[in-house]
């Protein structure tokens, strides 16, 4: 039987730390060998000191409250303070740490466990992301064994209690250290924590209750999805051990690069090359958009390099919304690098007739200072 440390100090189980300390000091003064040389007093002093050592340590006191004795050794024997064993042996150790007895044990985790989630990726074009699409994907996951319907047993056989752990699902060990006895628990290596084994397992799944299989699943991709987004398909993932409920399947979208458009959230960007003459005189360009078909982009007379024409509502659909982003057409004015004699004469005539415009060095702060270096300067000034 575990010793009564509270009775040794004369305090109740609900005593505070201060009450335990006062009781110890009072008894220690009465039975200390320097005060009382009697042998029985020395034995009593050892008992008092041991009781205080246990009850002043929260971990050791918890073991006592659970019915154990933290000062006992793991060897045989029993009895007094110098004796060995936890009264009833190692069972008391496990009771102290894991709350043994009816309803106190953590118990086996069971054979039936929830399945894991699965992830696969599918590549979509920008058009498919914009319109939405129904895709058929191939999934290689664990499914319910159709031979045993998840039981893992063959025929009418049944699982039996594990002989290694006695159905507890875990095994414990005790080791001594300078801090006292250390109890550890780990899943039973025989039943893997299930608490039971299958002596006659299913021939198809080997007792796992599930088998791997390749299957086709239809995925409905909504309009407006983007790169990296995931679509969740409930209960389409891995079936759990023992035929447990399946996890979820996540389909991650990999958006392919488009040859014309660059996506930025719900907006689209493209580059339109405009000859120098068209930029000066004005023109229009037909652009084949993603959702709206051929669309005219107006190039106003006098368009400057780097101008952007924005078509509102011509971008990507916003996910789960009836609105759309914008289409940004970046106008790139192209200056010819080679001219024939006729083109050269025409441009020279234009230059003669337009004497107001000529090459010049622009000062900082000028209203015409909108070149590259000005933009760089403004960017750094804003920091």
pLDDT in tens, 346-363: 888 887 887 777 667 766
Q: Which residue has the higher pLDDT, 220 or 48?
A: 220
Question: Taking all residues of the chain, what is their mean pLDDT, rounded to a whole number?
Answer: 82
Whether 274 contacts 283, CB under 8 Å: yes
**H-helix or E-strand containing 105?**
none
DSSP string over 144-155: E-TTTTTS-BST
**H-helix or E-strand containing 375?**
helix 372-381
**CA nearest to 74, candidates 182, 158, 221:** 182
- Per 3-state DSSP, the chain is made up of helix, strand and coil in percentages (nearest 5) of 25, 30, 50
Residue 324 is classified by DSSP as B
Q: Is 269 a residue whose pLDDT tops 50?
A: yes
Q: What is the pLDDT of residues 82-100, one digit of tens each?
A: 333 333 333 433 333 443 3
**CA nearest to 99, candidates 185, 165, 175:** 185
Range scoring the smallest mean pLDDT among 98-102, 125-129, 213-217:
98-102
Q: Is 157 a residue whose pLDDT tops 60?
A: yes
**CA distances (Å), origin 365, targets 55, 244, 311, 373:** 82, 72, 32, 12
Range scoring the smallest mean pLDDT among 88-102, 217-231, 234-248, 356-370:
88-102
The 10 Å Cβ neighbour count of residue 50 is: 16
Q: Phi and psi (nearest 5°) for 18?
A: -65, -40
Beta bridge partners of 138: 216
Q: What pLDDT score was predicted for residue 96?
A: 37
How far apart (Å, rounded) are the C-alpha atoms in residues 297 and 260?
A: 15
Whether 83 contacts 71, CB under 8 Å: no
Q: What pLDDT score was predicted for residue 306?
A: 92
How far apart (Å, rounded) are the C-alpha atoms in residues 383 and 129?
A: 37
Q: Is 291 a residue whose pLDDT tops 90?
A: yes
Range scoring the smallest mean pLDDT among 45-49, 75-79, 135-139:
75-79
Residue 241 is classified by DSSP as G
How far apart (Å, rounded) are the C-alpha atoms in residues 179 and 85?
A: 17
Location of structure tokens 């050791």? 60
**CA nearest to 68, candidates 39, 41, 37, 95:** 95
**Paired tokens of 350:** 């234009």
Q: Is 271 a residue whose pLDDT tops 90?
A: yes
Task: Read off the pTM.
Answer: 0.61
């Amino acid at each position: 039987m575990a010793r009564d440390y509270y009775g040794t100090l004369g305090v109740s189980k609900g005593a505070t730390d201060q009450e335990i300390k006062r009781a110890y000091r009072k008894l220690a003064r009465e039975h200390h060998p320097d005060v009382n040389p009697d042998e029985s007093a020395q034995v009593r002093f050892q008992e008092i000191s041991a009781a205080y050592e246990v009850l002043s340590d929260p971990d050791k006191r918890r073991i006592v409250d659970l019915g154990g004795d933290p000062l006992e050794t793991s060897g045989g024997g029993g009895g007094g303070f110098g004796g060995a064993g936890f009264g009833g042996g190692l069972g008391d150790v496990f009771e102290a740490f894991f709350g043994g007895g009816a309803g106190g044990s953590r118990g086996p985790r069971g054979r039936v466990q929830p399945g894991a989630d699965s992830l696969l990726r599918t590549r979509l074009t920008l058009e498919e992301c914009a319109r939405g699409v129904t895709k058929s994907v191939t999934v290689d996951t664990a499914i319910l064994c159709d031979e045993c319907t998840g039981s893992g047993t063959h025929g009418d056989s049944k699982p039996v209690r594990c002989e290694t752990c006695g159905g507890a699902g875990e095994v414990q060990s005790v080791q001594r250290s300078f801090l006292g006895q250390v109890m550890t628990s780990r899943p039973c290596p025989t039943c893997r924590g299930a608490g039971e084994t299958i002596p006659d397992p299913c021939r198809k799944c080997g007792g796992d209750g599930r088998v791997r299989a390749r299957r086709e699943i239809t995925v409905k991709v909504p309009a407006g999805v983007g790169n990296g987004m995931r679509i969740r398909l409930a209960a389409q993932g891995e079936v759990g051990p023992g035929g447990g409920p399946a996890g979820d399947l996540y389909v991650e979208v990999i958006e392919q690069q488009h040859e014309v458009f660059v996506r930025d959230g719900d907006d689209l960007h493209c580059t339109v090359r405009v000859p120098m003459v068209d930029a000066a005189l004005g023109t229009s360009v037909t652009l084949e958009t993603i959702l709206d078909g051929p669309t005219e982009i107006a190039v106003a007379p006098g368009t400057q390099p780097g101008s952007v024409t924005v078509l509102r509502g011509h971008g990507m659909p916003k996910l789960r919304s009836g609105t759309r982003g914008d289409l940004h057409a970046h106008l790139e004015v192209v200056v010819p690098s080679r001219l024939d004699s006729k083109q050269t004469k025409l441009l020279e005539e234009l230059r003669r007739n337009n004497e107001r415009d000529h090459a010049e060095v622009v000062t900082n702060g000028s209203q015409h200072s909108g070149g590259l270096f000005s933009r760089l300067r403004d960017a750094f000034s804003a920091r």
